[in-house]
């Protein structure tokens, strides 16, 4: 298939091509595109299936990140891209196991790793990453959720919101202000097991592309300090390092959605009979398809460049921001154009392009909104200019 030619790009190696071929076949057999009514049950089943088939091993690092086995960013990206082509929920299930366990892989004690990571990798335990608070999403440093250290315990009070897997997770990595220093140096990370007294799901949140999401509430939630990840005050650094591993993969997920939209649009444009021919006969349609294909290819180039550079041990602050910015914004445009090609059918509930139209939207907001990525790129450019 011509849309697989990118697998021969020099950024990728033979093992990556084999990975995509294997996962594509597995996903075709195990992952349905449409979502039923019980998104919690579907998500649990997907996590279990992804774990049993071994795919989660690529996102979860039982022996610590970059220690036993180096992070293969390209593999994570290819898996997200491939799953996103098949199902947004499957991509979500995969990504959250990595994001939710990343802090433990990066900075957890051997006991924490042993207790949580094998279960996450095998799909027996569901993980969540709880950073955002109602008062501060983009401005993480302004977080108000507090952690008060009392002897060998910490007491957490406050709220977290927009927490993916909220309501179905077995544990939550929670970032709270512990006050060792002002600003970002006064935040610590803790693992909170579901069912811990003082911790509750305050609200389940319905979003346009359904997946488990909740607001969490902590009231006098007491944990032994052995549940802290890393030292006191290191939480912000740990959160940023975790996001750094997965940021490029958000671009890859957007790319998967865009590729699927282009595939659907090509199918429709070449089969829809119109004015004695088919829709694809018209140059205006060809121009739209050409723009879509060019956006997909440029997003892929930026995404796999960033992933490859990261795998070479390079800092990819600028490259990952460019990839996320361009791939998520570009995918939104590609999917919108695909809906247009489908006409009325494009807005019918649960048509593939209608689903993609809803799936892509939040990727432009989470893990650093588009404007945040622009600020990062601008800052990096100016840093270079002054040097």
Cα 180 off chain centre by? 30
Active-site choice (326, 350, 367, 380): 367
Q: Tell me the closest approach of the beta carbon of residue 244 to ligand FAD, in angstroms.
A: 15
Map the footprint of ligand FAD across residues 333-372, applying CB under 6 A. 362, 365-366, 369, 371-372
| Residue 163 makes contact with ligand FAD by CB under 6 A | yes
Give the residue with the Cβ less far from ligand FAD, 65 or 169: 169
- Give the count of residues interacting with ligand FAD (CB under 6 A): 18
Can you tell me whether residue 54 is helix, strand or coil?
coil
Tell me the HSE value of 16 on the side-chain side, using a 13 A CA sphere: 24
Q: 72: helix, coil or strand?
A: coil
From candidates 6, 94, 116, 162, binder to ligand FAD by CB under 6 A: 162
Nearer to ligand FAD, 319 or 329 (CB): 329
The residue among 346, 338, 94 whose CA lies nearest residue 211 is: 94
What DSSP string runs through 255-309? HHHHHHHHHHHHHHHHH-EETTEEGGGSHHHHHHHHHHHHHHHHHHHHHHHHHHH
Question: Of the two residues 147 and 279, which places its CB atom closer to ligand FAD in the complex?
Answer: 147
Site for ligand FAD in 110-139 (CB under 6 A): 129-132, 137-138
Applying CB under 6 A, among 164, 242, 248, 303 the residue interacting with ligand FAD is 164
Nearer to ligand FAD, 18 or 139 (CB): 139
Residue 367: active-site member = yes
Residue 377 is a binding residue for ligand FAD (CB under 6 A): no
Give the CA radius of gyration of the chain. 21
- Taking CB under 6 A as the rule, which mask of x and - marks residues 198-227 in contact with ligand FAD? ---------x-----x--------------
Rounded-to-integer distance, Cα 150 and Cα 157, Å: 13
Q: At residue 205, what are phi and psi to the nearest 5 degrees?
A: -110, 125
DSSP 8-state secondary structure symbol assigned to residue 215: E
CB 342 within 8 A of CB 269: no
Contact between 234 and 188 under an 8 Å Cβ cutoff? The reply is yes
Contact flag: residue 315 with ligand FAD (CB under 6 A): no
- Name the residue nearer to ligand FAD (CB basis): 155 or 375: 375
Output the smallest distance, CB 140 to ligand FAD, in A: 8
Distance CA 212, CA 38 (A): 10
CB of 102 to ligand FAD, least distance (A): 12
For residue 242, the SS3 value is helix
Which residue number has the CB closest to ligand FAD? 137
The residues carrying an active-site annotation are 367
Q: Which residues bind ligand FAD (CB under 6 A)?
A: 129-132, 137-138, 162-164, 207, 213, 362, 365-366, 369, 371-372, 375
């Amino acid at each position: 298939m011509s849309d697989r030619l990118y697998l021969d790009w020099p950024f990728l190696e033979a093992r990556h091509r084999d990975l995509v071929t294997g996962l594509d076949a597995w996903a075709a057999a195990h992952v349905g595109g449409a979502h039923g009514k019980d998104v919690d049950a579907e998500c649990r089943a997907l996590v279990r299936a992804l774990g049993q088939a071994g795919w989660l091993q690529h996102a979860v690092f039982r022996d610590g990140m970059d220690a036993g086995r180096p992070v293969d960013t390209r593999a994570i990206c290819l898996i997200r891209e491939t799953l996103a082509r098949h199902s947004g929920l499957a991509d979500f299930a995969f990504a959250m196991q990595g994001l939710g366990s990343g802090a433990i892989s990066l900075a957890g004690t051997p006991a924490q790793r042993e207790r949580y990571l094998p279960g996450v990798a095998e799909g027996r335990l569901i993980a969540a990453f709880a950073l955002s608070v109602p008062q501060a999403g983009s401005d993480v440093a302004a977080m108000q959720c507090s952690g008060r250290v009392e002897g060998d315990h910490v007491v957490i009070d406050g709220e977290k919101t927009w927490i993916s897997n909220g309501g179905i997770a077995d544990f939550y990595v929670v970032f709270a202000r512990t006050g060792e220093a002002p600003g970002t140096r006064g935040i610590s990370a803790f693992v909170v097991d579901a069912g811990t007294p003082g911790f509750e799901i305050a609200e389940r949140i319905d979003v346009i592309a359904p997946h488990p999401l909740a607001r969490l509430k902590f009231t006098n939630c007491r944990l032994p300090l052995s549940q802290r990840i890393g030292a006191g005050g290191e939480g912000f650094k740990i959160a940023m390092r975790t996001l750094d591993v997965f940021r490029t993969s958000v671009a890859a997920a957007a790319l998967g959605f865009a590729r699927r939209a282009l595939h659907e649009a090509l199918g429709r444009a070449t089969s829809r009979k119109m004015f004695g021919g088919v829709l694809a006969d018209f140059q205006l349609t060809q121009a739209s398809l050409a723009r879509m294909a060019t956006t997909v290819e440029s997003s892929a180039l930026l995404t796999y460049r960033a992933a490859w550079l990261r795998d070479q041990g390079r800092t990819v602050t600028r490259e990952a921001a460019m990839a996320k910015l361009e791939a998520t914004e570009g995918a939104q445009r590609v999917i919108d154009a695909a809906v247009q090609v489908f006409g009325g059918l494009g807005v019918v509930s649960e048509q593939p392009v209608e689903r993609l139209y809803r799936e892509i939207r939040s990727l432009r907001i989470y893990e650093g909104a588009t404007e945040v990525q622009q600020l990062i790129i601008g800052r990096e450019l100016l840093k270079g200019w002054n040097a």
